Structure formats: C-alpha cells, structure tokens
Copies of this chain bind each other. A is one copy, B any other.
Amino acid sequence: MPEKQKVCLAYSGGLDTSVIALWLIEQGYEVVCFAADVGQDEDFDAVRAKAEKLGAKIYIEDCRDEFVKELCFPAIQCNAVYENVYLLGTSLARPAIARAQIAVAEKEGCQFVAHGATGKGNDQIRLEEAYYALKPKIRVLAPWRMPEFYEVFKGRSDLLDYAEKKGIPVTSTKSKPWSMDENLAHCSYEAGILEDPDTTPPADMWKLTADPLSSAADEAEDVTIEFEKGIPVKISAKSIGSETEPTKLFLAANALARKHGVGRVDIVENRHIGLKSRGCYETPGLTILRNAHIDIEGLTLDREVRALRDQFVTFNWSKILYNGNYFSPEREFLQASIIESQKSVNGQVRLRLYKGNCMVLGRSSQTEKLYDASMASMDEIGDFEPTDATGFIKVQAIRLKKYGQMKAEKGERL
C-alpha cells in the first residue's frame, strides 16, 4: 500500500467504528469520517468531537429528506415488505447513506471507502453493492472481513481493551445484550440474547414505541392520511394538526404511531447470505402509512394492475432492496412500473390508532371513480343485466365441466 492512501469511513461514533478509525490510521491511511443523519436519535456534536479526537476529519450529512422521498415513499407506493412481515427499515436507509458517503469520498479524493458492518450480515452487501455501482473504481475496506483485523479483535473485550489503551472514550460502559440500528423509519434489534428465536425480547428493549400492554395511550386517536399518486401528501390528527412536507409528515406519522404502540414485529428471516437470523423491528410511522396506502388502493386501483403489481413489483422491489441492489437496472425498471401503477392512487384514508392497533375507519377519493356504489349494490340494476352473469359463469364452466367429466370417468374424487 502506498503511503497516505485516503479512506472514507462510515462512522457512527460507537465503539466499533472508533476502533476501526484508529486502526486504519495506524495502518497508514488518512481517514475521513462520514456520518449520515438518517433520523436516528444521536448527538452529532459528540460524534464530531469524537472523530476529531481520533485525528480524523468528519462530514456529517443530513440524508433525511432523500431517505424519505427516494426510499420510504416508493416503499409505501409498492407496499414493500420482505417475507410477509419485515418493512425493510434498515435496507431502505443504506442507499441514501452509501450515496452520501460516496459523494464525500469523491470530494475528498479517497481511493477507499470503509465500514464497520460484520461479515455475516446484510449491511456489508447493501453498502458495498451501492458503493460499486455508484463508483465502480472505488476500493472497499471491510475490517470485519480482514483477518489482520478480526483475528486481533475477536470480541467486544478486545475492542474495549484497545479503546482504553488508545484513549478512545467509550460512552456506554455496559453494552446492551443485542445490537441495534435506528433511523427515521425504524429501529432494529438482533444478535445477543435474541439469537435464541424462542427468547421473548424484554419489555424494555423496544425503544421507539410505547408498549401496547402498558405504556400506550389509553385513548384511541383518529388520523387522516391523504395520497397523491400513491405518495402520502398530508397527515392530520387532533394532537398534531396537519403536516404536508415529506419529512415532517413522516415524523408526524412516527409520533402518532409511537404513542399508540403501533409497528412492532419479531421474525426469523432469511438473510441474503443464506443464513436465517432473528430480528425484532419497530417501524411506527411506516406501518400506518403503508396500511393506509394498501387501503386507498382498494378504492382507486384497478384489479388487474393491482394483481400484476402485487405478484411482481412488490415482491421483487422488496427483495432487491433487502439484498442491497437498489442501484441496479432492475430496480430502475421496477420503479417505472411503480410510478405507472400509482397514477390513480389518489384519496384519503381515516385510521384509528389504539394500543398497537391501526384500524381503517373509511376512505374516499375526490377524483377516482372506479368504485361505484350503485353498480355494486344488490338492490339496483346497473349497467349490466343479472342475466349476463349467467353467461359469464357458464362460459367459465366449460373448462371445469370438461375436467369434472374426465375426473368422473376416471373415478377420481374432485
């Protein structure tokens, strides 16, 4: 390695990346720290001070608007979900972080980027595939996959010893028995005691949301969410008034959902790397925005467009994000489909939040007229004759009769 190669390190201010920063400096790199504000609960001044104390320059970039508009809103538009349950909170943040980090790396002329993600997880993949797509010539340092690092730092105590020896301040003397990742959309919990999939998380683990059983509000609260082309454009509730600006709207959804304990899940999921792992997630605002979106689609989206979208776009967009391929031709391809599918998704949904529940109360649309109460009504003859249904049924029965007859001839039970 030539001397003073420059590396831009994704820096959180925590123990791992502080040790990595210093270790990289000791390896002869010039380290530029980069911290992304994606809405996590963080003292960024302290992060800055810590990086500088380590001898590194630091950039702290506010990625919240981009995160909400470019990642969370498309996720809502396509009802994104991984393996039926996980709303992709971490996956959604990575592209915004990687893009900002690469921008810093370019500005600073870094040949390398680095991160503190482990060698068995999804995040290393999500970050690095993004780095490579955004800047194909970039080189990546992932210390947790470099034997010269991980053979020295075998566990948390090695990190603590090193930090002590080097004078790196360690904020929490005692680590929590799980690891966390927080952003505007969610907080995740995994590893440690959660590795046993039958261990119920302790009640005080959950950081963002009130406990539906104990601390959630005793009064239900009604919320109205308005959509244009599938994007939430307004949220209203008595306790918060109204918000229309994307990030503020998202924060308002969070505040409401947190108070009412909405958005906790606990699953065993399949990582991209081929391992099963257990994760607990709380995703307050995104949960209610997504529920409202699913509901407004019922009123405003054509059946066949929905069916195609559900089978192909939702599944694949979610998988692509989970697997870290946001910056890819296939994601761009699906994005065009999402936009096209959402042209008619305009209207508003009324929800009631109460102790973990997010119940739909009703929905309406000023502009979309696919729903026609009089046609659906049992009591009115609309634009078609009841007798038409006879033909509809009988034509569809042609194939089934033929099949039934063959089964009967073969003596097989249908």
Give the B-binding residues of A (Cβ under 8 A): 79, 83-85, 118-121, 124-125, 128-129, 132-136, 142, 144-147, 150, 155, 179, 191, 195-200, 212-213, 220, 264-271, 273-278, 294-295, 298-299, 302-312, 315-316, 319, 325, 327-330, 332-334, 336-337, 339-341, 344, 350, 354-357, 359-364, 368-373, 375-379, 382-406, 408-409, 414
User: Which residues in B have their C-beta under 8 angstroms from that of A362?
Assistant: 196-200, 266
Indicate if the CB atoms of B334 and A132 lie closer than 8 Å: no
Q: Which of B134, B302, B303, B392 contacts A414 (CB 8 A)?
A: B134
* Cα distance A357–B287 in the bound complex, in angstroms: 14
> How far is the CB of A316 from the nearest CB of chain B, in Å?
6
> Distance (Å) between the CB of A314 and the closest chain B CB?
9
Q: List 13 A-B contacts (CB under 8 A).
A: A119-B386, A120-B377, A132-B397, A191-B377, A195-B377, A198-B364, A267-B295, A305-B330, A328-B399, A355-B357, A356-B356, A356-B359, A389-B395
Would B356 and A270 count as touching, CB distance under 8 A?
no
B403 touches A329 (CB 8 A): yes
CB within 8 Å for A363 and B119 given contacts A355-B356, A398-B383, A403-B329: no
Chain copies in the assembled complex:
4
- What residues on B are CB-neighbors of A144 within 8 Å? 386
Rounded to whole angstroms, the CA-CA distance of A161 and B134 in the bound complex is: 44
Residues of B within 8 A of A393 (CB): 124-125, 128-129, 391
* B402–A360 CB distance below 8 A: no
Besides A125-B393, A267-B298, A325-B400, 7 other CB < 8 A contacts?
Answer: A132-B404, A136-B401, A136-B402, A266-B362, A276-B372, A304-B328, A337-B340
Contact B276 A370 (CB under 8 A): yes
Question: In the complex the two chains form, is B266's CB within 8 Å of A120's CB?
Answer: no
CA distance in complex: A339, B340 (Å): 12
Determine if A333 and B305 form an interchain contact, defined as CB atoms under 8 angstroms apart: yes
Shortest distance in angstroms between A95's beta carbon and chain B's nearest beta carbon?
10
A84 — which chain B residues lie within 8 A by C-beta? 79, 294, 310
Residue in B closest to A86 when the chains form the complex, CB atoms: B298
> B333 touching A340 by the CB < 8 A rule?
yes
Q: Which residues of B contact A312 (CB under 8 A)?
A: 308, 311-312
**Chain B residues whose C-beta falls within 8 Å of the C-beta of A308 in the assembled complex:** 312, 316, 330, 333-334
CA distance A249 to B305 in the complex (A): 34
- Contact among B278, B316, B376, B388 with A195 in the assembled complex (CB-CB below 8 Å): B376
Given contacts A84-B294, A386-B150, contact A268 B363 (CB under 8 A): yes
**Most chain B beta-carbon contacts within 10 A, residue among A118, A354, A404:** A404
Shortest CB distance A234–B (Å): 16
Contacts A275-B375, A329-B305, A377-B191 given: A386-B316 contact, CB under 8 Å?
no
CB-based contact B306/A270 at 8 Å: yes
Minimum CB–CB distance for A355 against chain B, Å: 5
Q: For residue A399, which residues in chain B have a CB less than 8 angstroms away from its CB?
A: 274-275, 302-304, 328
Q: Which residues from chain B contact A273 at a C-beta distance below 8 Å?
A: 389, 392, 395, 398
- In angstroms, Cα B86 to Cα A310, docked, is 14
Cα(A406)–Cα(B401), bound, Å: 37
Given contacts A273-B389, A340-B337, A373-B196, contact A405 B136 (CB under 8 A): yes
Contacts of A385 in B (CB 8 A): 394
* Chain B nearest Cβ from A184, distance in angstroms: 22
Chain B neighbourhood of A198, CB < 8 A: 350, 362-364
Q: Which residues of B contact A357 (CB under 8 A)?
A: 212, 355-357
Nearest CB in chain B to that of A127: its residue:
B393
